[in-house]
């Protein structure tokens, strides 16, 4: 898998630097993971800031291990954890959505089921919205396309249909994130400010990237399915840039606002300063600055 940095270094030095950092780390991980041998029933993708190609040394390494073979899963997870530790990367939350084996069937068979686990919703949507493979990329792409095919099944017979199934689940996932953030407010009040800033920036961009692709697909006629499928390899910001370019709009305002967000979040002092309780947020200079910045970002989308 080859990627070309889409950002002008002079105009967007932080975006360009974060892209290069993410790409280099993922290349190292792919090489290290290839040394453990080939396990055909398992693949690994990264999500979060590494999946969006906007990571820094302060970023968590959020990964999803997809496997229907328990033995393979245990061997590969052990190897991956050792590699992440050796490279001094921050591991994911041990009790979060990245903490357990995910069989492909739980991701594909599928959205909206009465007994659906919300972790499955998160894992499935993250694979479509902001992920990159680091092990067994062929299996990863196969699963991605199988998920997409389920969402776009009605388009096979009627390409003119709008991809409502995928749109509705994308909206559902973003709303679930918002509700979960509110729930976390009562449990971890002092983390609310930083999480709110991330919600207002990276989560909004993740959501907007897919939303704009789906809306723009209406212009593609019978090529709608292929257009959506080809967008899967793009990061959320690249999707926004692509749609803006397709409609002769400049994406500079979006990129400038996101450049400011990353420039602040890449500083440990800023992250620490944002760890304040909810009622102290408006006395925090960084929160005020980034809240205003996020208001501009949403206006540009």
User: Domains plus CATH for the chain?
Assistant: 7-148 (3.30.460), 161-301 (no CATH)
Q: Which two tokens mark 139?
A: 């299996």
12: Cβ–Cβ under 8 A, 6 or more apart, which residues?
Answer: 255, 256, 259
Structure tokens at 136: 């067994």
Smallest CA-to-CA distance from 290 within 199, 206, 211 is with 199
Q: How many residues does the chain have?
A: 301
Q: Closest Cα to residue 165, out of 212, 119, 214, 204?
A: 214
Cα–Cα distance, 273 to 270 (Å, whole number): 5
Nearest partner of 133 among 63, 34, 45, 249, judged by Cα: 45
Quick one: tokens of 168?
A: 């509705």
- Residue 45's H or E segment, with its range, is strand 42-46
142: CB partners within 8 A, 6+ apart: none
Distance of alpha carbon 261 from the chain centroid = 16
Three-state secondary structure call for residue 101: coil
pTM equals: 0.94
Ordered per-residue pLDDT tens for the chain, 301 residues? 557 999 999 999 999 999 999 999 999 999 999 988 888 889 999 999 999 999 999 999 999 999 998 999 999 999 999 999 999 998 887 777 777 888 898 888 777 777 778 888 899 999 999 999 999 999 999 999 999 999 999 888 888 899 999 999 999 999 999 988 877 766 665 678 888 999 999 999 999 999 999 999 999 988 999 999 999 999 999 999 999 999 999 999 999 999 999 999 999 999 999 988 888 888 999 999 999 999 998 887 7
The reply to whether omega before 110 is within 30° of 0 (cis) is yes
Q: Are 151 and 161 in contact (CB under 8 A)?
A: no
CB atoms within 10 A of CB 297: 22
């Amino acid at each position: 898998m080859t990627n070309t940095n889409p950002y002008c270094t002079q105009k967007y030095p932080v975006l360009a630097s974060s892209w290069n950092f993410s790409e280099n780390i993922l290349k190292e991980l792919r090489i290290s993971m290839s040394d453990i041998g080939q396990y055909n029933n398992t693949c690994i993708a990264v999500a979060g800031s590494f999946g969006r190609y906007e990571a820094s040394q302060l970023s968590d390494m959020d990964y999803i291990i997809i496997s229907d073979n328990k033995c393979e899963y245990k061997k590969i997870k052990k190897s991956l954890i050792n590699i992440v530790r050796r490279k001094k990367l921050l591991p994911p939350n041990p009790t979060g959505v990245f903490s357990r084996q995910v069989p492909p069937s739980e991701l594909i068979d599928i959205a909206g089921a009465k007994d659906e686990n919300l972790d499955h919703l998160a894992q499935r949507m993250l694979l479509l919205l902001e992920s990159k493979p680091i092990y067994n990329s062929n299996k990863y792409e196969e699963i991605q396309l199988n998920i997409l095919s389920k969402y776009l099944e009605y388009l096979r017979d009627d390409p003119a249909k709008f991809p409502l199934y995928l749109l509705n689940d994308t909206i559902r996932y973003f709303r679930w994130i918002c509700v979960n953030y509110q729930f976390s407010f009562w449990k971890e009040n002092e983390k609310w400010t930083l999480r709110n800033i991330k919600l207002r920036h990276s989560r909004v961009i993740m959501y907007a990237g897919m939303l704009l692709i789906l809306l723009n697909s209406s212009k593609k006629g019978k090529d709608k399915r292929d257009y959506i499928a080809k967008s899967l390899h793009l990061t959320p910001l690249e999707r926004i840039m692509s749609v803006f370019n397709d409609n002769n709009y400049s994406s500079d305002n979006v990129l400038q606002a996101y450049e400011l967000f990353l420039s602040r979040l890449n500083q440990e002092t800023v992250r620490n300063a944002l760890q304040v309780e909810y009622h102290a947020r408006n006395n925090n200079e960084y929160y005020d600055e980034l809240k205003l910045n996020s208001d501009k970002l949403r206006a540009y989308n």
